[in-house]
Amino acid sequence: MQIECYAQRLLNPFRGVMHTIRYQSAEAVTTDGIEWDIYVANDALLDGLGRAGRRAMISDIRYGHWSAEKGLKRGPLFPSDDFMRLEHMGALVYEHLLKVHREVPFKFRDCFELWLLDRNDRPLALLHSVRADSETDTKPPLDWRAGMAAQEKFRSAAISDLAEPAGAYLTRYVNSLSRGVAQWFRRSDDGAGLGLHTLRGGDSLHGRVLDADAFPPLFVATAYMDAAHAQLVRDYHAWQAPWMLLLPHLDAPTRSALELAACEQAESVEKHCRLYPAMIDRAALQAARVEAALVRSQPRSSQQDEAMPMFYIELNVSEE
């Protein structure tokens, strides 16, 4: 019996991390380390489909929802010919969850990355990531997105007299720096990337190796931007700080700066801090958590804006 525990980034836009406990076609997932959803899928439906089965969609069945505080709440039962097998897979994942839920954050396993390239074929913006080479035949959108939430919530004074939301402008600007080519890379433990196949041209780039420094650690390159646009991206990263801190590879100065920015969004810090792999200023983050607790204790008026949840859905249309 092989049960996997791993983390994977939620991308385009980056909006956090999914931690997963998986056995065959059953999995328990969380984005905050507290609330876990358990799903099973009837993968037997793919038998006999061969390679085509990799693209076939099968529906997840909700086995249940679990938290340490409330325990397991079972989902509806769907008796079928495979019911006992699905129940067995779900039960194994649930039992393992009880053993390891305190061990999050898990190790990241999504080392295959799809990057939008700039006009000089350098990595410009991270679009997607997967765990296995076999998954790189997916067809995600090939334009970078700041996200719908950014269009509503993100603010920046870096560019004056904008006639559109800062998030919409940033999306358009980043994509204007690319000629539309994207490339898959396999990242090694030292951060270097082996170039795999490309999308929308760039076939000659296959097989190249780029050093770790070629890949922007916060997923959008600013090295060749003017000062105002580089500041716009920094402001965007500051807005993303509560979930940027979920990343394990940040150096100390970057993590420290993101912690300072994250404390401006106390409720988001409280939601995600259990999954932070490291902390520089633990006292400041704890103060933000206390602030969040005080805010939650106050009654909300109907006019108050709700804080953006980290795990929100971006509706993307796949490229055909």
Grade residue 306 by pLDDT with cuts at 50, 70 and 90.
Answer: very low
pLDDT (mean) for 275-304: 86
Examine the pLDDT at 149 and tell me if it is beyond 80.
yes
Question: How many domains does the chain contain in total?
Answer: 3
| Assigned domain for 283 exists | yes
Question: Which amino acid makes up residue 167?
Answer: G
Mean pLDDT across 169-195 = 97
User: What is the C-alpha radius of gyration for the chain, rounded to an integer number of angstroms?
Assistant: 21
**Range 187-199 average pLDDT:** 97
Domain that holds residue 51: 4-103
Predicted confidence band at 309 (pLDDT cuts at 50, 70, 90)?
Answer: very low
285 located within any domain: yes
233 in any annotated domain: no
For 118-127, 203-212, 293-302, which range has the lowest pLDDT when averaged over its residues?
293-302
More reliable by pLDDT, 224 or 319: 224
pLDDT at 320: 39
- Asked if residue 261 has pLDDT above 70, the reply is yes
312 domain residue, yes or no: no
Q: What is the pLDDT of residue 44?
A: 56
Asked if residue 210 and residue 116 are part of one domain, the reply reads: yes
Two tokens at 260?
Answer: 């300072």
Q: Assess whether pLDDT exceeds 80 at residue 85.
A: yes
Statement to judge: residues 161 and 258 lie in one domain: no
pTM for the predicted model, two decimal places: 0.87
Average pLDDT estimate for 220-238: 97
pLDDT grade for 117, boundaries at 50, 70 and 90: very high
Domain for residue 307, yes or no?
no
Across residues 174-189, what is the average pLDDT? 97
- Kindly state whether residue 272 falls inside one of the protein's structural domains: yes
Average pLDDT for residues 275-300, to the nearest whole number?
A: 91
Average pLDDT over residues 44-54: 49
Instruction: Give me the chain's average pLDDT, please.
Output: 89
Q: What is the mean pLDDT of residues 125-146?
A: 95
Examine the domain organization and report whether 117 and 95 are in the same domain. Answer: no
93 and 123 both lie in a single domain = no
Instruction: Give pLDDT, residue 107.
Output: 97
Residue 88 lies in a domain: yes
pLDDT-derived band at 300 (thresholds 50, 70, 90) equals low
Mean per-residue pLDDT, 198-224: 96
Q: State yes or no: pLDDT of 305 exceeds 50.
A: no
pLDDT tens by residue, 13-29: 999 999 999 999 999 99
Res 7 pLDDT > 90: yes
Establish if 137 belongs to a structural domain: yes
146: tokens are: 């700041």
Say which range, 56-70, 190-204, 224-238, 271-285, has the weakest mean pLDDT: 56-70
